[in-house]
Amino acid sequence: MTSNRAVVTATPSFISPILPSNFMQEATGGDRPLKLGILASGSGSNFEAIAEAIASGELNAQIQVVIYNNPGAKVCDRARRWNVPAVFHDHRQYKRRQLDAQIVATLQEYDVEWVIMAGWMRIVTEVLIDQFPNRVLNIHPSLLPSFRGARAVEDALQARVKITGCTVHIAALEVDSGPILMQAAVPVMPDDTPETLHARIQVEEHRIYPRAIALAAQQAKNSP
Binding residues: 44-46, 96, 121-124, 138
Nearer to ligand LMY7XDAE, 37 or 178 (CB): 178
Residues forming the active site = 140
The mark string for 130-149 relative to ligand GAR (x by CB under 6 A, - otherwise) is ---------xxx--------
Determine, following the binding rule CB under 6 A, whether residue 100 of this chain makes contact with ligand GAR: no
- Report the binding-site residues for (6R)-10-formyltetrahydrofolate: 96, 121-124, 138
Dist CA 174 CA 153 (whole Å):
20
Nearer to ligand LMY7XDAE, 123 or 163 (CB): 123
Residues 124-153 that bind ligand LMY7XDAE (CB under 6 A): 124, 138, 140, 149-150
Per rule CB under 6 A, count of chain residues that contact ligand LMY7XDAE:
16
Residues between 26 and 85 with contacts to ligand GAR, criterion CB under 6 A = 40, 42-46
Using CB under 6 A as the binding rule, whether residue 119 contacts ligand GAR is answered as yes
- Least distance from C-beta 124 to ligand LMY7XDAE, angstroms? 4
CA neighbor of 67 nearest in space, from 32, 99, 93, 41: 41
Q: Which string of DSSP letters, residue by residue, matches 138-160? A: EEESS-TTSS-STTHHHHHHHHT
For ligand LMY7XDAE, what does the binding mask look like between residues 175 and 214, x meaning CB under 6 A?
xx-x------------------------------------
Q: Give the residues lining the site for ligand GAR (CB under 6 A).
A: 40, 42-46, 118-119, 139-141, 150, 152, 166, 202, 205
